[in-house]
Amino acid sequence: MTRNPSLRLGAFAWIAVALPLAMHLYGAGPAGPAGLTSRAPAIHERAGSMGGHGDIPLRVSFSPDSKFLVTADNDGTARLWNVATERQIGQAIKVGGVHIRDAVFSPDGKVLVTVDTGGAVRFWNVSRHLQLGAPINASRKKLLSAAFSPSGEVLATGGADGSTRLWNVATRRQIGVAMTSAGTSVTEVTFSPNGKLIATADSNGTVQLWNVATHRPVGKPIGTKFPGFFLVETTFSPDSKIFAMVGTDLREWSVATGRQIGRTMHPGQFDTNGVVFTPDGKTMITTNADQLIQEWNVAAQREVGSVKPAGHDDNFSFEAISPDGKLLATTAYSGPARLWKLGG
């Protein structure tokens, strides 16, 4: 599955302590133009949750049919969940001696890929929870993120050695040379929906676009306002023409020109940890350390709604949107994953 939500911060446990100290001194964005008045968005929390306080999800991904969710948890395991019932399916997937840091579905939904602190990539049969073949020993250091290309033929991995590598899924062999980031760790890898580009985010708070075919960088690295401290999440619009990044703020960039589009948006006083496009490409949804879920009009670059969930007392840390656009999944630094209904 193309990781179009991205990002990808759970590998760094220390950030849970650092984030509340990182106030930006930003206020809310100015009021939008006529017809874009602020409102309560059509986002409603479902009754249940997935996992207890001992099973804190660091990352979440939906299956392509939106029926299942996989979480990579702070205890180093991956868990599969039935979205309709919010119940765990089978036992947690675990690997002795290492911690799983990311887990993603293949585009056909039959295979789950995990990457871990031992630098290995493992393939799992979704229905049987069984490992498929030998792992790929991808790195001597931790792997932190993974993403399938839209076709499912290529897998991208990013890790603590500062490199992004592409793998032929059929042969499990590396494709070409590694793409090396300026940061000390690649915390997220994200394919564009058309499969032509990869966006990497590193521990220096920098985003770089790469040409999948040539493995060469596209344009210059894009940094945050406070490099070296804040981690970044990225996502592509469904038509692959825009990519958005959050960290210290929210910005949109033109893929064609490599230039920022319009204004810089400020979702909250603290850092913003998640951003996703809705399937129609007209709206972005962000989650942040202010415990807010916000909707943004992509064209106007204005907030059009926000909600602070009642009883939610922790910072949002990650989010993913279901492929059918009906659900949002969120994680927090000290609680289980939760599902939210979108659009009514």
244-295 pLDDT per residue, tens: 998 878 999 999 999 999 999 988 776 778 899 999 999 999 988 777 888 9
Tokens of 212: 């999948």
Looking at this protein, which amino acid is placed at residue 112? L
Please state the domain count of the chain: 1
Among residues 24, 43, 6, 4, the alpha carbon closest in space to that of 293 is found at: 43
| 263 within a domain of the structure (yes/no) | yes
Taking every pair of Cα atoms in the chain, the longest distance, rounded to a whole number of angstroms, is 58
Alpha carbon of residue 142 to chain centroid:
18
Q: Specify if 7 maps to a domain.
A: no
Give the Cα separation of 226 and 185 in Å (integer): 17
* Residue 8 scores a pLDDT above 70: no
Number of CB atoms found within 10 A of residue 298's CB? 18
Q: Residue 311 has what pLDDT?
A: 58
Compute the distance between CA of residue 78 and CA of residue 327 in angstroms, rounded to an integer. 20
Range of the domain at 47: 15-342
pLDDT at residue number 13:
32
Place of tokens 């075919």: 213
- What is the C-alpha end-to-end distance of the chain, expressed in Å? 26
Asked whether residue 195 is assigned to any structural domain, the reply reads yes
Amino acid at 144: L
Average pLDDT of the residues in 62-76: 93
> Dihedral sign, CA of 145, 148, 150, 153?
positive
In a domain, 3, yes or no: no
pLDDT at 244: 95
> Which pLDDT does position 174 carry in this prediction?
98
For residue 113, being part of any structural domain is answered with yes
CB atoms within 10 A of CB 86: 18
CATH number for the domain harbouring residue 118: 2.130.10.10
CB 103, CB 61: distance < 8 Å: yes
- 115 in any annotated domain: yes
The pTM for the full model equals 0.84
Residue 145 maps to a domain? yes
Q: Are 19 and 271 in contact (CB under 8 A)?
A: yes
Is 312 inside any structural domain?
yes
Report the C-alpha gap between 320 and 287 in whole angstroms.
10
Beta pairing, strands 197-202 & 186-191: antiparallel
Q: CB-based contacts of 226: which residues, under 8 Å, 6+ apart?
A: 22, 205, 248
Q: How far is CA 193 from the centre of its chain?
A: 14
